[in-house]
Amino acid sequence: MAILNILKEDKNISALRKKSRPIEIIDKRTATLLDDMRETLKEAGGIGLAAPQVGVLRRAAIIEIEEGELIEMINPEIVYREGEQQEIEGCLSSPGKFAETVRPAKIRVTYTNRNGEKKEKEGIELLARAFCHEIDHLDGILCFDKAKRILTKEEADELKKEDQEGK
């Protein structure tokens, strides 16, 4: 396994803007890519990573919100959306920058796993946002494109604190 370089918005925006192509053949290379992406995600301390963020313009993304509960998606598609949630999200390609976005409250996705099996998974709250965020990356879309507001780390922390106090 290897830790890959995560492309950053300030230096690599043209690569991050490209649309990724479907993975037609799932083979050892796909497995290696997914393994490397997991290691890279872990090292970066994030919850999601899409292949174009490591310079591979293919439709693959991973999400690991709870340690050990890894979701590996090949050719993911959103097949159902419901409701709305407004929250703050960040992106490993844009350190120190946060977006306040409105996302669906509930999402259902279909994808293929590394064994070639078709899967369907539902997500709410953070998982719903992560699905949307990572699948957007495959189409060259960044969370800041959809932001109601773009925040610095300090502003994002302040807003999260206010939210918690309000609950």
Binding site for Co ion (CB under 5 A): 91
CA distance 1 to 38: 9
CB 129 within 8 A of CB 89: yes
Q: Which residue is nearest to Co ion (CB)?
A: 91
| 73 vs 91 by CB, closer to Co ion | 91
Residues forming the active site: 134
| 71 vs 91 by CB, closer to Co ion | 91
CA distance 8 to 99: 16
| 48 vs 104 by CB, closer to Co ion | 48
| Least distance to Co ion, CB of residue 132, Å | 11
CB 155 within 8 A of CB 108: no
| Least distance to Co ion, CB of residue 90, Å | 8
Classify 85 as helix, strand or coil.
strand
| Least distance to Co ion, CB of residue 157, Å | 19
Which amino acid would we find at residue 125? Answer: E
**Residue 90, CA distances (Å) to 28, 101, 119 in order:** 31, 10, 27
